[in-house]
């Protein structure tokens, strides 16, 4: 189950400073990932924390499904929202199983149901229940702790998940792996996920849509491909970086732009699920301007040019 | 009389008095814990309580121990009760201060996660904050116990018994056997308590490091 999250004209002003979040309206469709991205102080974390009411908006409201969150009992609201923060925030005095069991216990689940759920979740995030459930967080690697953090957030099957720079403390290789795992998990559980990051690459990889914030204002809110094709202004373009078009090619698959015509007999082959970046590199590498797509069809360099401008 | 002969003739006496000494000390620390822990928690939850409680216990702590026993006489007379009261008052500082510090120094991220997951004020206190503060609270308890064992020696001066009886009588009649019969057990108890509590403290924090305990 997932619920839509809708921000309705939400403003948060702290006394004596410009608004941290300024008249934000946007909708996160049920079962999709929204990546909130922007530099430090742009209001992305404030925006996220208003969803589980760690911060109360000054004006406007947030609607979960059909219910404005201001009308829900706050503890009940928080127990139906999974929460993952940077540095994971696992409790060091509790075992992995106890950490995962927190919200189910708050909800009064029975022991057998909790135990079964803990094992189910550990398996879901790629850990072995028998070897991991009794261990303490400090004996786990950063990536393993991150997985337990995700398992804990999913424990009571919440319709919404909030993730605040969840992979910020991981090394680049582990980060990409855990991001892929998150996407794989999302394909199974289909939650509404709001993920805060300052890393545009991460936002593009993870988000079904990306919302770029600057000084509390929503600058652009679109699927990653559209943001990469048409950054709204210099600020967004700068966040993406000089290799914007490479990132665009790495976001699109061969299947999304290929043609039906058969390729010339000698054309090198490429998989339909490969990225256009891989296809482009193969063209450069082999000196050919056309590739044969495995299973029929072809990819010409003209297709790439069309893809880059949309 | 040689020390060996003295010990041979008086060992039952020494053992009984030592036991009484230890009981007085532990009773006092137990009471200090029962009073100090809630005070430390209250100080953590409320800034006004913190100002009042922390200042009061540190003022009490600055009174010299001997003077504190002296002050008890006009208030409560002499004997076991005023002695225990004095030791309790003196032991409050390490208990309250460490409870307060232990709770105040918890990683704010962990507290926020606890709130964000939907824990109430008291669930958070008992499930997250106190367990995380436990090693620091325990260190305060250790200081309190070692202090109390030493302080109860002086309780002899207001007729509460304990190993101080041997020491002061020994000094007044210049019997070094008697002085040793009082001071060596005090020293042994203090060192023993320190060692045992320190080990427990280490086990507490180690159980969180590795695999299942």
Structural domains in chain A, sorted by start: 5-242 (3.40.50.300), 252-309 (3.90.1280)
Would you tell me the crossing angle of helices B130-155 and B65-76 to the nearest 10 degrees? 80
Q: Does B118 touch chain A (CB under 8 A)?
A: yes
Pull the structure tokens for residue B126: 């008992």
Does residue B112 belong to the interface with chain A, where contact is any CB pair within 8 Å?
yes
The pLDDT of residue B212 is: 42
Contacts 24+ apart (CB under 8 A), B33-37: B33/B95, B33/B141, B33/B144, B35/B88, B35/B92, B36/B91, B36/B92, B36/B95, B36/B96, B36/B99, B37/B95, B37/B99, B37/B137
The DSSP 8-state label assigned to residue A87 in this structure reads T
Taken in order of first residue, the domains within chain B and their CATH numbers are: 3-206 (1.10.3720.10)
Q: A229 and chain B: CB distance < 8 Å anywhere?
A: no
* B210 inside 8 A of chain A by CB: yes
What pLDDT score does B211 carry? 45
Residue B206 at interface with chain A, using a CB cutoff of 8 Å: no
Residue A149 has pLDDT above 80, yes or no: yes
At A235-279, the pLDDT tens digits run: 999 989 888 888 888 888 888 888 887 777 788 888 888 888 898
Q: Which residue has the tokens 């070094």?
A: B176
Task: State pLDDT tens for residues A101-137.
Answer: 999 999 999 999 999 999 999 998 889 999 999 999 9
Using a CB-CB distance cutoff of 8 angstroms, which residues of chain A are in contact with residue B116? 52, 54, 78, 81, 83, 85, 162
Distance from CA of B18 to the nearest CA of A (A): 38
The nearest CA of chain A is from the CA of B111 a distance in Å of 9
Closest to B118 (Cβ–Cβ): which among A103, A136, A138? A103
Residue with tokens 């430390």: B40
Rounded percentage of chain A residues whose pLDDT exceeds 90: 53
Residue A120 burial by CB count (10 A; 0-12/13-18/19+): exposed, middle or buried? middle
Choose the mutation target among A89, A94, A134 for the interface with B, i.e. most B CBs under 10 Å.
Answer: A89
Query: Could you tell me the pLDDT band of residue A44, with boundaries at 50, 70 and 90?
Result: very high
Distance from CA of A201 to the nearest CA of B (A): 25
* B117 Cα to chain A: minimum distance (Å): 5
B204 to each of B146, B198, B201, B213, how far by Cα in Å? Answer: 19, 10, 5, 10
- CB of A73 within 8 Å of a chain B CB? The answer is no
Q: Are the C-beta atoms of residues B44 and B100 closer than 8 Å to each other?
A: yes
Does residue B186 surpass a pLDDT of 60?
Answer: yes
pLDDT at A255: 84
ipTM score above 0.90 = no
Contact between A172 and A187 (Cβ < 8 Å): no
At residue B69, the pLDDT reads 85
Kindly list the residues from chain A whose CB atom is less than 8 angstroms away from the CB atom of residue B124.
none
């Amino acid at each position: 189950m997932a619920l839509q999250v809708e921000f309705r004209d939400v403003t948060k002003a702290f006394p004596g400073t410009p608004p941290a979040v300024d008249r934000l309206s946007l909708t996160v469709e049920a079962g999709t990932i929204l990546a909130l991205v922007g530099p430090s102080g742009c209001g992305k974390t404030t925006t996220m924390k208003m969803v589980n009411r760690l911060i109360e908006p000054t004006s406007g409201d947030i609607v979960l499904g059909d219910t404005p969150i201001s009308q829900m009992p706050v503890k009940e609201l928080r127990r139906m929202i999974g929460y993952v923060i940077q540095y994971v925030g696992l409790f060091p005095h509790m075992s992995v199983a106890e950490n995962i069991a927190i919200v189910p216990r708050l909800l009064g689940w029975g022991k057998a149901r909790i135990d079964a759920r803990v094992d189910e979740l550990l398996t879901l995030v790629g850990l072995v229940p028998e070897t991991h459930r009794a261990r303490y967080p400090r004996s786990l690697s950063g990536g393993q702790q991150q997985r337990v953090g995700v398992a804990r957030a999913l424990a009571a099957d919440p319709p919404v998940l909030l993730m605040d720079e969840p992979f910020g403390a991981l090394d680049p290789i582990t980060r990409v792996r855990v991001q892929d795992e998150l996407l794989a998990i999302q394909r199974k559980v289909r939650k509404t996920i709001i993920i805060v990051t300052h890393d545009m690459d991460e936002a593009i990889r993870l988000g079904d849509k990306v919302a770029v914030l600057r000084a509390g204002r929503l600058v652009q809110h679109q699927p990653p491909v559209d943001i990469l094709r048409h950054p709204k202004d210099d600020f967004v373009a700068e966040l993406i970086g000089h290799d914007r078009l490479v990132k665009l090619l790495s976001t699109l698959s061969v299947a999304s732009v290929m043609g039906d015509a058969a390729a010339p007999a000698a054309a090198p082959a490429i998989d339909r699920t490969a990225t256009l970046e891989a296809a482009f590199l193969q063209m450069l590498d082999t000196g050919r301007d056309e590739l044969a797509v495995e299973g029929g069809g072809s990819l010409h360099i003209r297709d790439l040019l069309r893809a880059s401008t949309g | 009389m040689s020390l060996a002969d003295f010990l041979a003739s008086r060992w039952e006496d020494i053992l009984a008095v030592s036991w009484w000494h230890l009981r007085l000390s532990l009773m006092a620390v137990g009471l200090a814990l029962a009073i100090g822990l809630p005070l430390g928690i209250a100080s953590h939850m409320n800034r006004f309580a913190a100002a009042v409680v922390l200042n009061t216990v540190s003022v009490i702590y600055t009174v010299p121990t001997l003077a504190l026993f002296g002050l008890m006489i006009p208030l409560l007379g002499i004997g076991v009760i005023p002695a225990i009261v004095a030791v309790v008052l003196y032991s409050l500082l390490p208990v309250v201060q460490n409870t307060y510090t232990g709770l105040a120094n918890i990683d704010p991220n962990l507290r926020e996660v606890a709130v964000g997951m939907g824990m109430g004020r008291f669930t958070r206190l008992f499930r997250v904050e106190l367990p995380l503060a436990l090693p620091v609270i325990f260190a305060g308890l250790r200081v309190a116990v070692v202090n109390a064992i030493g302080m109860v020696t002086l309780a002899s001066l207001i007729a509460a018994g304990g190993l101080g009886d041997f020491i002061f009588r020994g000094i007044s009649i210049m019997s070094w056997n008697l002085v040793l019969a009082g001071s060596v057990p005090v020293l042994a108890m203090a060192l023993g308590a320190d060692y045992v509590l320190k080990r427990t403290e280490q086990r507490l924090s180690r159980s969180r490091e590795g695999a299942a305990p």
